Amino acid sequence: MTDHELTVNGPTAQKSADEGGSRQYLSFFLGGQEYATDILRVQEIKGWDTVTRVPYSPNYILGVINLRGAIVPVVDPRVRFALEKAPFDSATVVIVVRVAGARGERIVGLVVDAVSDVYSFSDEDIRPPPDAVGSVDQMFVLGLAKLEDKLLIVLDIERLIISSVLGDSKAA
Amino acid sequence: MAATILAVDDSASMRQMVSFTLKHAGYEVIQAADGVEALEYARNNSVSLVLTDVNMPRMDGITLVRELRLLAGYKFTPMLVLTTEAAPEKKMQGKQAGATGWLVKPFNPEKLLATIAKVL
Amino acid sequence: MSIDQEMEEILQLFFEESFEGLDTMESGLLTLDGGANRETINTIFRAAHSIKGGAGTFGFMEISGFTHSVETLLDEMRNGSRGVTPDALQVLLQAVDVIREMVQSAQAKRPIVMVGAAALSSELLRILAQKGAPANSAPAGAVPNAEAAAGAPAALGDPPASGLPKSDKPDGAVGTAVDGTPPVGTLEGWRIVFEPDSSLFKTCNDPMRIFDELANLGPLEVEVNTAKLPHFGELDPTQCFLSWTLLLRCAAEHARVAEVFDWVDANSKIVYEPIYGAAVPAGVPSRPIAELAPAGGPRPMTAAEVPAAQASAPKSGGESGSLRVATEKVDALINLVGELVITQSMLGRFAEKYEPQDIESLRRSLAQLTRNTRELQESVLQIRMLPIGFSFNRFPRLVHDLSRKLGKKVDLKLSGENTELDKTVLEKISDPLVHLVRNALDHGLESPEARLAAGKSDTGTLELNAFHEGGSIVIEVKDDGAGLNKERILAKARERGLVDADAQLSDDNIYNLIFVAGFSTADTISDVSGRGVGMDVVRRNINDLGGHVQILSAPGRGSTIRIRLPLTLAILEGQMLRVGKEIYVASLVSIIETVQSKREDLSCVAGRTELFKHRSDFLPIIRLYDLFGIEPDSRDITDGLLVVLEAEGRRVAMLVDELLAQQQVVIKSLETNFKQVPGLAGATIHGDGTVALILDVPGLVRTFLERQSMQVGRAA
């Protein structure tokens, strides 16, 4: 993954499935497993930057960064879910996600090992997850998507982010 | 050409209200905030009707009517003064100064339009 | 724009005008206190008249009804039939408050509640009646409010005398034939003889117009009488020499018919003769007088009345979401943006084509850019700046009412009303100022007798000053009263256990005790102040704004409360500090000084609290690295620097590794995307693009001291 910013979606992303009812998903690697998130939530993909630590935060909140003037918190799900951590290097990527909250939109960064690809599939392709899927807490998993040659763990990214940032978490 | 009405009142909201009502009925409206402004305008322009409040700073409505009647172009322009219940004598004073008639405040848009339609 | 939007805008304009008018009335009434002035009374009258007229037009009948009596009273004052008395003035001032509340309710689209208004209108009426005012100045035009729910007093008491609404002409009008004798049949029409004065045309009254209107009522026959027409050669076309006999077939009542001749009947001779048809024992068609009967006076209100001395709903104190900006400020902004654009294109050229010798040029352009951005920043902040006069202007009224209530004589002096500060700061400092002024009047200034006994003049002076100093605005509330009583304060503090019996406190420390929650040395708690809930909130509000409050006092001579506030909330004058690898910013306002400590200055109490001996004080030491969980350069206090901070009236020493630059810093919120973090007031972006966290010094100090006392408590 090159160290450049990739803007994926404009500010007003509407949930609209194209013909056939399929949506696009961005897939990425965390601790060796491949996960996917609705691409409409993804604002951009950034390379790894210096993060300013914030006191009184759980260890999976790495701190805040400056995103073109906005103060954006960065969450490391690998720490939260005790996943095998890849080192912070030039391949490390931050997915900047936009989630809706009670007080408006929040922009939060999610550290991942690497970004993979964009896939299209519809809701029918997502199957309910078995009891233990990957290491990410059950409540953040929407299901499993079976594609031709792989299985993607589809995440409820909004829930994951809100819970991480607002700290109502119980470490997995 | 649409008829032009000169609306004089020191309250901006009243002027706007009157202007709004009249414009929507197809009249053109010129606003003035007091008698002095109105007289200034009248010296160089003509209108179809003058509608003026009585209580205004600098020059009140009755004086305005009197002054306007002295202008050549305004000898036969209908002029209405806006009076209130509390001052019935203003109606007579207005008439003596040369006003065509009066309109009692508060008035609603329909009354305003109906009264104006009577004289225009 | 849709019709609704236009109407809404006009309504808003009306509300704004009304508030301004009410302000005019209030300040005018206050100056009348010093002596009647014809011009002022006129101005006040016009303002009331406008509000009444507008309210009626826009459908706010409660407001126009209530304002009517106010207008009547003012009218009498302006035509000399009534003198200007302090009592009348007081009632009028209260009336202004009531009208203001009503307009506020109307603006907020709430039902207009008549709390206090009913009692006040009866008071107004009582005053009006007292002078034996002639019948036609009684509030005849009041509109009876049929809605019981609104609780509005139906017609303001008096039965309509003259000046009845259109539907009934006084029975003295020319030519009325209605004399109460029972008719011989049903009304079928009218024969009207209309003889206008020769000057009819001079007022642009056209008989044709009148006839057209009559024709709307029913079939009309017109017969002209040319008897008075002079010879053609002598005919002056601008004069009217004609008269007419009209036959109108319609069963309208006299008043309705006469109405058509309203504008001309004063200088015309009109005779109305009703025409009756077959006899029908129906009785005289009665006029709807019953509708006009008053509903018997104001309804007694159960809700509590607004106490007279309290300033009613704040005028400019409330927060609003919009700004009124002088066009010059916006123009200046536009110019600066223009310059910025030029600089930007200059720099843009270098991106296209860059030669090493261009570096000087590049440097100059960048310097220009820095200038542009700084000027732009200052200009934009200026837009949010408002003169403090907006807040000061509520005080003449407040002081007037309060001094009357307390029986004290006060001379209020305002200075620096044009000193500008940020809109939000202004809004948030208003209530604290009100509290301080009330305090000064209630406790600071003595009664006239006490003052005379002390050899002072019987009238106390209260000063409100505002001025810029450094990058702050300083506001002073100064009185020449009795000053703070140190012994009393100390005694009270000891009594409440806030202070040890044998503790030695500096004057400053003693004065600062009055800011503690629940503290009050007042013997009696008036409803004005003295409950002791105010001062701590005052200080907290000031601290939250990033400011500081200081008390100066001299027994017998008076006290000064000095408030220092930042000019803007968006920008901070900050001191950058380093602790370990982390950089933080602390507001310069909170920093007293920074010192390097020596071993002998350090001590430890109860095995836990570390103290630093600073001048004559012992300051608790905050190890910031410990609070924030950072790895510092060194844990030895003498290796680092101690930053002496002042917050909430206390001083502490905070340990840091290094002091970096002082600079202006833009405050960004952590809560937008993240959340509020204890100990932090926000974040800012460093020159190198990284984020630096801004310390919440008052919060840190507060938490630290609380934790300390808890720990001490546990250890004991």
What does the domain layout of chain A look like in residue ranges?
Answer: 24-166
CA distance C675 to chain A (A): 7
Residue C527 has what pLDDT?
Answer: 52
Residue C2 CB burial class (10 angstroms; 0-12, 13-18, ≥19) = exposed
Average pLDDT over residues A106-117: 92
Residue A133 has what pLDDT?
Answer: 61
Residue C666 has what pLDDT?
Answer: 82
Tokens of C255: 């008043």
CA distance A29 to chain C (A): 24
Residue C285 has what pLDDT?
Answer: 39
> CB contact, 8 Å: C679 with chain A?
yes
CA distance C53 to chain B (A): 6
Residue C313 has what pLDDT?
Answer: 36
Tokens of A25: 């998903």
Residue C536 has what pLDDT?
Answer: 81
Using an 8 Å CB-CB cutoff, list chain C residues near B86.
68, 71-72, 75, 137, 140-141, 163
Q: What is the CATH number of domain C187-278?
A: 3.30.70
Instruction: Tell me the C-alpha distance between C415 and A139, whole Å.
Output: 63
Flag residues of chain C having pLDDT under 70. Answer: 1, 34, 115-116, 131-184, 278-321, 517-533, 709-716
Residue C314 has what pLDDT?
Answer: 36
Average pLDDT over residues A5-9: 48
Residue of C3, C19, C42, C57 best to disrupt the B interface, most CBs of B under 10 A: C57
Residue C289 has what pLDDT?
Answer: 34
Residue C623 has what pLDDT?
Answer: 93
Check residues C156 and A49 and name the one with the higher pLDDT: A49
Residue B29 has what pLDDT?
Answer: 93
CA distance C237 to chain B (A): 12
Q: CA-nearest residue of chain C to B89?
A: C163
The interface residues of chain B toward chain C in range 13-52, judged by CB-CB distance below 8 A, are: 13-14, 16-17, 20, 24
Q: What is the CATH number of domain B4-119?
A: 3.40.50.2300
> CB contact, 8 Å: C78 with chain B?
no
Is residue A103's pLDDT more than 80?
no
Chains B and A touch (3+ CB pairs under 8 A): no
Using an 8 Å CB-CB cutoff, list chain A residues near C672.
70-71, 104, 106
ipTM over 0.90: no
Mean pLDDT, all residues of chain B: 87
The interface residues of chain C toward chain B in range 6-45, judged by CB-CB distance below 8 A, are: 6-7, 9-11, 13-14, 17, 43, 45
Q: CA-nearest residue of chain A to C681?
A: A54
Instruction: Tell me the C-alpha distance between A31 and B81, whole Å.
Output: 85
Give the pLDDT band of residue A170 (cuts 50, 70, 90).
very low
Residue C137 has what pLDDT?
Answer: 36
Asked if C476 contacts C463 with a C-beta cutoff of 8 angstroms, the reply is: yes
Residue A5 has what pLDDT?
Answer: 42
Tokens of C688: 């190198």
Using an 8 Å CB-CB cutoff, list chain B residues near C53.
11, 14, 53, 82, 84, 105-106
Q: What is the CATH number of domain C3-137?
A: 1.20.120.160
Residue C449 has what pLDDT?
Answer: 92
Instruction: Tell me the C-alpha distance between C354 and A63, whole Å.
Output: 38
Q: How much helix, strand and coil, in percent to the nearest 5, is found in chain A?
A: 15, 45, 40
> CB contact, 8 Å: A70 with chain C?
yes
The fourth-level CATH superfamily of domain A24-166 is CheA-289, Domain 4 (2.40.50.180)
Strand A6-7 vs strand A126-127: parallel, antiparallel, or unpaired? Answer: unpaired
Considering only CB atoms, A50 lies closest to which of C628, C679, C690, namely C690
Give the pLDDT band of residue A4 (cuts 50, 70, 90).
very low
> CB contact, 8 Å: A73 with chain C?
yes
Which residues are A67's β-sheet partners? A70
Using an 8 Å CB-CB cutoff, list chain C residues near A71.
668-670, 672-674, 683, 691
Using an 8 Å CB-CB cutoff, list chain A residues near C667.
none
Is residue A135's pLDDT more than 90?
no
Residue of C691, C693, C696, C704 best to disrupt the A interface, most CBs of A under 10 A: C691
Domain ranges of chain C: 3-137, 187-278, 328-378, 387-566, 572-715
- The three-state secondary structure class of C421 is strand
Residue C307 has what pLDDT?
Answer: 34
Domain ranges of chain B: 4-119
Residue C152 has what pLDDT?
Answer: 34
> CB contact, 8 Å: A46 with chain C?
no
Residue of A49, A51, A71 best to disrupt the C interface, most CBs of C under 10 A: A71
Residue of B11, B91, B120 best to disrupt the C interface, most CBs of C under 10 A: B11
Using an 8 Å CB-CB cutoff, list chain A residues near C627.
55
CA distance A127 to chain C (A): 32
Residue C688 has what pLDDT?
Answer: 80
Please indicate whether, in this complex, the C-beta atoms of B11 and C204 are within 8 angstroms of each other: no
Is residue A51's pLDDT more than 80?
yes
Residue C148 has what pLDDT?
Answer: 33
Mean pLDDT, all residues of chain A: 80
CATH fold match for the domains C3-137 and C387-566: no
Tell me which residue of A61, A85, A96, A86 sits closest to A75, measured CA to CA.
Answer: A61
Please indicate whether, in this complex, the C-beta atoms of C75 and B76 are within 8 angstroms of each other: no
Instruction: Tell me the C-alpha distance between B77 and B49, whole Å.
Output: 6
Q: Which fold has domain C572-715?
A: OB fold (Dihydrolipoamide Acetyltransferase, E2P) (2.40.50)
Helix (H) or strand (E) holding A114: strand A114-122
Residue A132 has what pLDDT?
Answer: 64
Residue C299 has what pLDDT?
Answer: 33
Contacts of C238-242 with C-beta under 8 Å, sequence gap 24+, read C238/B75, C238/C201, C238/C202, C239/C198, C239/C199, C239/C201, C240/C196, C240/C197, C240/C198, C240/C199, C240/C200, C240/C201, C240/C207, C241/C198, C242/C196, C242/C207
DSSP C626-660: HHHT---S-S-GGGSEEEEEEETTEEEEEEESEEE
Using an 8 Å CB-CB cutoff, list chain B residues near C3.
24
The fourth-level CATH superfamily of domain C387-566 is Histidine kinase-like ATPase, C-terminal domain (3.30.565.10)
